Amino acid sequence: MSNTPDTSLTRSVATESLADLLGNISETAIDSVIESGMLRDIPIIGTITGLMKAGRDVRSALFLRKIAVFLQELSQTSPEDRRNFVAQFDSEEKRHEFGQTVLMLLDRSEDIAKPRLIAKIVSAHIQGSIEYAKAMRLCAIIDRCYSQDLAMLKEFREGTQGDSTPIAESLLAVGLLSNGGFDGGTAGGNDGGVIYVLNEYGRLLIQYAL
């Protein structure tokens, strides 16, 4: 079996002791736990740590931290559910594809919030709440989103958005809002504008990640 980082990540999702290794670690302590070697039994952590020691061009400790945060969030699902999830990848190619996609998303994350959000969506699929294709599309949407814009999404109300229109435009562009038409305004001072509505992906993100 291949021991590349992408397939190692897929195997790591099914690690029986994931909750024991990561479940009670605070986010601020993750770096020191990685450095201590306590997480070396998680395949992806061991693989990337080994590559870094060998001088290979793999990302720094920040990349490992993102991976650890992702796996920590996944550890809240049951080992059986995670094993069943990994079992659906019935070929090396499919394990490679999933692992590569997630590693690329984590690598591009500009903060630690996104790995946790991505993990929440993958967890929702693992638990049967979101189908795989929609879950992976949501993960891609999170990747394209500016993290701070998601704060508005939690409080979003359908209609024109006034001063928050630039944020709504960004959320529309990434696929979390839809255009519900145009409000022409009123003589009473309502300036009108585009009517923004929450779409399916926006609702799923709020329900399972925010």
Q: Where are the domains of the chain?
A: 5-144, 149-202
Distance CA 41, CA 76 (A): 18
Q: DSSP code of 89?
A: -
> Encoding tokens for residue 156?
């979003």
Tell me the pLDDT of the chain averaged across its residues. Answer: 86
List all residues 6 or more positions away from 77 whose beta carbon is below 8 Å from its beta carbon: 123, 126, 127
pLDDT over threshold 80, residue 134: yes
Q: pLDDT band at residue 188, thresholds of 50, 70 and 90?
A: low
Residue 47: its pLDDT value, please?
Answer: 80
pLDDT over 90 percentage in the chain: 44
Is the separation of the CB atoms in 202 and 153 below 8 Å? yes
Q: Which tens digit of pLDDT belongs to each residue from 15-40?
A: 888 888 887 787 778 878 878 888 88
pLDDT over threshold 90, residue 3: no
Residue 33: its pLDDT value, please?
Answer: 81
DSSP 3-state percent helix, strand, coil across the chain (nearest 5): 60, 5, 30
Arithmetic mean of pLDDT, 112-140 = 95
Residue 48: its pLDDT value, please?
Answer: 78
> Encoding tokens for residue 203?
């609702």
Residue 154: its pLDDT value, please?
Answer: 86
List all residues 6 or more positions away from 15 whose beta carbon is below 8 Å from its beta carbon: 21, 41, 42, 43, 71, 82
CA distances from 158 to 152, 154, 201 (A): 12, 12, 15
Q: pLDDT band at residue 58, thresholds of 50, 70 and 90?
A: very low
Lowest mean pLDDT among 36-45, 116-125, 142-151, 181-190: 181-190
